[in-house]
Structure 1
């Protein structure tokens, strides 16, 4: 651990020039006293650095000195693929590795590219989770990731939506996917075809000694895309005919998603009063009932009759409730 920190300290001084002990302590998340000990150790090892006292002082390397400790390790090269996602990297136990990899990469860049790289870090930031989604608790994520790396079978106790709600499975973990801030495990249970499991629904996990080989030709990204296509195909099982006000057309796309917006654009026909008639996909009567209520008076459902009747009944109930004087 200390050796890794000494390398990080050395690379910080090489990349940024003069830095105070306080600045180094903040970057390395250690005490100032630890920084002084590390600087002394580097000096004793022959690294030409010196300190300057007073305002504007600090520690820096002798002009022209550059370390050759910039070769990336296997872990660091893997972490670079998550360079835009420090949160997920930390969740997988690669946070410190990622920082070291970035410092090494920075040290390896020609001087003329330093400013461009700095501007990228300064001007772009990726925050994957949605606005209204709270981060899932994933206490077993690091263990799952280790099993994926090592190709080890795991035993899990898993919570699912249908009865029995808690099941036990022996899984061969093929890979992990991060989708909209939520982690999913793609794994096969006892030689079956690969399925998807939410990592936050793993209640208990044990890593077994048994190792496995991923099936020849298995492609994690292709498997995930196939799963998404199948999900969307099964998501919308019926159609509804609706009339939308101009505001309803805009709000419908924002609130009900791309499939709704695409259907309105493809099937919509303008009517004399400025409204648009369209055929749109729906998941179920229950889901459509809540979704269309969210559009208020900017939508009129024409078909199916059961959905129209249900919305009408809800509207009457609301009118009765809010029409009565408050007690």
Structure 2
């Protein structure tokens, strides 16, 4: 209760009960016990009431278990923190927490930091250059508008926008800015910001949930990306290589639809398809270990690509 009130300010008994998964009666009883113990905890009745600590009161960091100490240092991500310009700050914070811990917990937490490392980008791609990331992060933190020149995939390519930055997301080594633009909320690749300058302050929507927005955005992206289905055959080698070359949803779709191997060992299954152009380029990674059966449009595009390669290499 003390840590919650210290971090969030005033909270009602019901809010505390829901957060701590206890009854409201338990909150009333514990509040009385804390007050009797000399903790400056005050409660006000009414719609605007609730419990709060006297301004300036701070409780010491106590009760940290060994597992909590280890998990705390798993959340310290030196790579992303450094990209945001917070590398030294994150390191200093960890040192302060370590110094406040008992010797046993300090040893276990230090062991975690020494034995686990996060490398976000995939094997076949490097982290993107994001020269404006620190400026974007500062605008997110201080709730300042951003005037940007942004390069998008459709014409006109370079556009100017005034954005209200709500949050940053790191996905597979790529940074995305979630921001209000006019009447809508949109997602922007930070590395596609060509110029940026800080604008006036703005009010961030109180009910905006970054994690919920990103989950919805990701689901919508996958739905828009999968415009159809393709039936393919994979050789035994292709089946083995398939998970290393394609997204998890594509691999899962093939595995769930695949039949038994034929006499030649090849397996037939169905995968989601974005477009004939895109899917042909993706499937070409497997070379002779994949055959497209349907749709005819995708098979024709594969034929064109293979014929083009044959003309290049046949001579």
TM-score (norm 2): 0.72
Distance in 2 separating the partners of 1:261 and 1:161: 27
Structure 2 gap ranges (5+): 1-59, 62-71
Equivalent residue, structure 2, for 1:291: 282
Structure 1 gap ranges (5+): 1-69, 72-79
Distance in 2 separating the partners of 1:273 and 1:254: 23
Residues 1:150 and 1:274: Cα distance change in structure 2 (over 3 Å): same
Note the C-alpha offset of 1:317: 4.4
- Map Cα deviations across residues 166-199 of structure 1 (whole Å, 9 max, x no partner): 1111111111111122211110113x12111111
Equivalent residue, structure 2, for 1:239: 229
1:192-207 to structure 2, matched below 5 A, reads: 192-207=183-198
- Considering only CA atoms, is the larger Rg found in Structure 1 or Structure 2? 1
Distance in 1 separating the partners of 2:99 and 2:134: 29
Counterpart selection for 2:119 from 113, 127, 136 = 127
Distance in 1 separating the partners of 2:84 and 2:126: 18
Note the C-alpha offset of 1:320: 4.9
Distance in 1 separating the partners of 2:136 and 2:292: 46
- CA RMSD across the alignment: 2.2
Distance in 1 separating the partners of 2:74 and 2:112: 15
Equivalent residue, structure 1, for 2:172: 180
Q: Does 1:152 align with 2:144?
A: yes
- Map Cα deviations across residues 15-35 of structure 1 (whole Å, 9 max, x no partner): xxxxxxxxxxxxxxxxxxxxx
Equivalent residue, structure 1, for 2:162: 170
Counterpart selection for 2:100 from 95, 98, 108 = 108
Equivalent residue, structure 1, for 2:299: 308
Equivalent residue, structure 1, for 2:205: 215
Distance in 1 separating the partners of 2:113 and 2:196: 37
Distance in 2 separating the partners of 1:309 and 1:185: 38
Residues 1:314 and 1:99: Cα distance change in structure 2 (over 3 Å): closer
**Is the Cα–Cα contact under 8 Å of residues 249 and 264 in structure 1 kept in the other structure?**
no
Distance in 1 separating the partners of 2:93 and 2:86: 10
Equivalent residue, structure 2, for 1:40: none
- Map Cα deviations across residues 131-162 of structure 1 (whole Å, 9 max, x no partner): 23233222222221121111112211211111
**Is the Cα–Cα contact under 8 Å of residues 83 and 98 in structure 1 kept in the other structure?**
no
- Map Cα deviations across residues 230-282 of structure 1 (whole Å, 9 max, x no partner): 11111121211112122212222221222221122111112343221112111
Q: Does 1:260 align with 2:218?
A: no
List 4+ stretches of structure 1 deviating above 6 A.
none
**Is the Cα–Cα contact under 8 Å of residues 82 and 88 in structure 1 kept in the other structure?**
no
Matched length: 245
